[in-house]
């Protein structure tokens, strides 16, 4: 019982250190996302940050695709890609475009996925032959 109480108190204390969901949604920059996705191994909330990173990237990815673009971006969500691969693509893209790190992370995720997984060209959009 005492161990269970200590675990509960520790979990509540750790959650108090994290920003609330409302503050995260509107203000995550590329730099913030990199910090979540690549926390220091000695960080006491390492697993929480990595999970938060994956949830953020996958959450943004779920909001758009080839049929429903966002911010001018689309991506082929039918690609057989794991959540870890999506995170890796986004982190690599942000690393290759450091000039965008201060911008909102949701737009950076959209740009990274759009570049890495372009939508297939639709047959109806091809120009007819003459």
| 7 has pLDDT over 90 | no
What Å distances lie between residue 15 and 8, 11, 40, 41, 60, CA to CA? 11, 6, 18, 18, 23
What Å distances lie between residue 79 and 6, 47, 118, CA to CA? 44, 27, 10
Per the CB < 8 A criterion, the answer to whether 66 and 117 are in contact is no
State the average pLDDT over residues 100-109. Answer: 96
Q: Cite the beta strand spans of the chain per DSSP E.
A: none
Give Dmax over CA atoms of the chain in angstroms. Answer: 81
State the average pLDDT over residues 114-121. Answer: 94
35-68 pLDDT tens trace: 999 988 888 899 999 999 999 999 999 999 999 9
Per the CB < 8 A criterion, the answer to whether 103 and 30 are in contact is yes
20-43 pLDDT tens trace: 444 445 589 999 999 999 988 888
State the average pLDDT over residues 79-88. Answer: 95
| 105 has pLDDT over 60 | yes
pTM over 0.75: no
Which residues, in sequence order, are CB contacts of 91 under 8 Å at separation 6+?
A: 34, 37, 38
DSSP 78: T
Domains of the chain: 21-120 (1.10.890.40)
| 124 has pLDDT over 80 | no
């Amino acid at each position: 019982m005492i161990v269970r109480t200590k675990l509960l108190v520790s979990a509540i204390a750790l959650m108090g250190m994290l920003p609330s969901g409302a503050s995260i949604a509107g203000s995550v920059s590329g730099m913030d996302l990199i910090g979540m996705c690549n926390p220091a191994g000695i960080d006491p909330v390492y697993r929480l940050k990595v999970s938060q990173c994956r949830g953020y990237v996958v959450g943004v990815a779920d909001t758009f695709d080839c049929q429903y673009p966002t911010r001018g971006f689309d991506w082929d969500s039918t690609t057989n890609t794991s959540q870890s691969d999506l995170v890796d693509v986004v982190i690599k893209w942000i690393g290759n475009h450091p000039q965008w790190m201060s911008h909102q992370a949701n737009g950076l995720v959209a740009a990274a996925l759009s570049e890495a997984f372009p939508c297939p060209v639709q047959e109806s959009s091809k120009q007819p032959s003459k």
